[in-house]
Structure 1
């Protein structure tokens, strides 16, 4: 079936808190190369957003996680300079693994909430972080 209209791309992002600190990665590629961001990425065709966020988190951070809840859906057409993306953002619980960067992540780190407030985050991740604080802190 051929579509005659354009659709946004579907992405996921995950927020993981470990011992009061939040996991962030630096992006290896443009857009926002070298900016800190929540781990995440594109949903593969045939993949659920739930499976995608667990896969992306593991690929970028080496952490095994499980979903605690849905933070929200972020759909501003201008959130990604590559084109219209819609991100489903989950709050995840750490299960196992040693934090290290992989795949599209240049670095991976744990940050205190106060320190994240001072960072310039990629995409609309500052807004996502603020929503996380309102809902979970």
Structure 2
């Protein structure tokens, strides 16, 4: 019998704390699926989720981040068109100017209420959940 398990990933909501209103960072993906996304990626074998989040931020936008908290887990089987993934989302802070690197074609800084229209995966939902949490202290509930 062959087992097929979801693949663990991390996504990072990075608040730029050296700017007014603590804007967050999005990248335009270089590889399919194309569109805008939060920085993040696959967890390597033998790597902790926290290490993966810090590594992915550095690889994609060139910034050192400080993880503040584990925000939420997103696991809908269709959240990634390439395969079934489970994403552990972290909130992090950083300072400086992000630079698109690795899998990022471009990088953008935006306020959470100015969400780009071409978001990949379920990142629109993640950002909406984050906005509710950050501004109204409403943490997202469990989804089935």
TM normalised by structure 2 equals 0.86
Partner of 1:130: 128
Asked whether the 8 Å contact 2:8–2:85 carries over to 1, the reply is yes
Aligned residues: 131
Q: What SS does the aligned partner of 1:133 have?
A: helix
Name the counterpart of 1:51: 51
Does the aligned pair in 1 maintain the 2:12–2:53 contact within 8 Å? Answer: yes
Alignment partners' CA distance in 2, 1:46 and 1:97: 30
Q: Which runs of 5+ in 2 are unaligned?
A: 136-144
TM-superposed deviation, 1:99: 1.0
SS in 1 for 2:14: strand
Q: What is the CA distance between 1:114 and its match in structure 2?
A: 2.7
Structure 1 unaligned residues grouped into runs of 5+ = none
Q: Which has the higher strand share?
A: 1
Query: How many Å separate the matches in 2 of 1:121 and 1:75?
Result: 17
Q: TM-score, normalised by structure 1?
A: 0.90
Partner residue, 1:80: 80
Cα contact 1:13–1:40 (8 A) shared by 2: yes
Answer whether contact 1:69 1:91 (CA < 8 A) is retained. yes
Q: Deviations over 1:65-85 (max 9, x none)?
A: 111001100000000111100
* SS of equivalent residue, structure 2 residue 69: strand
Q: Secondary structure at 2:114's aligned position in 1?
A: helix
